[in-house]
Amino acid sequence: MIDWEDFEKVDMRVGRIVAVEDFPEARKPAWKLRIDFGAQIGEKRSSAQITNYTREELEGRLVVAVVNFPPRQIGPVRSEVLVLGAVAADHPVLLLEPDAGSQPGDRIA
């Protein structure tokens, strides 16, 4: 169990994927993403193992990501945010998607 104060430390925000690039250097298939989190946070980069989505399905899509983890070096990519999705052994990652009306930068609470 965690305290409410611990949960509040995790800064989850709505972002819009603005660019999707190939990531051939990745050990496991992945995309390189640029995600816009609005004026306060700006654009951040991420590496995501979500290859069950096409580039066209990802570009322009709203996602939820943790924006206050320290950056992590993944091969040649500096991943600055963690894009969130549902994970189960019997299916690929399924992205969490905010409802219509959400805007980049909106905080998840």
- 32-41 pLDDT, tens digit each: 999 999 999 9
Number of domain units in the chain: 1
Residue 40 falls inside a structural domain: yes
Residue 43 falls inside a structural domain: yes
**pLDDT at site 5:** 94
Smallest Cα–Cα separation from 19: which of 38, 50, 42, 46? 46
Smallest Cα–Cα separation from 12: which of 77, 78, 69? 69
**pLDDT at site 78:** 94
Residue 102 falls inside a structural domain: no
Which positions of the chain have pLDDT values less than 70? none
Residue 40 belongs to a domain with what CATH number? 2.40.50.140
**pLDDT at site 59:** 97
**pLDDT at site 96:** 95
Distance CA 57, CA 41 (A): 24
What domain range is 69 assigned to? Answer: 4-95
**pLDDT at site 88:** 81
**pLDDT at site 27:** 84
Residue 10 falls inside a structural domain: yes
**pLDDT at site 24:** 85
Residue 101 falls inside a structural domain: no
Distance CA 19, CA 69 (A): 21
Residue 105 dihedral angles phi and psi, to the nearest 5°: 100, -20
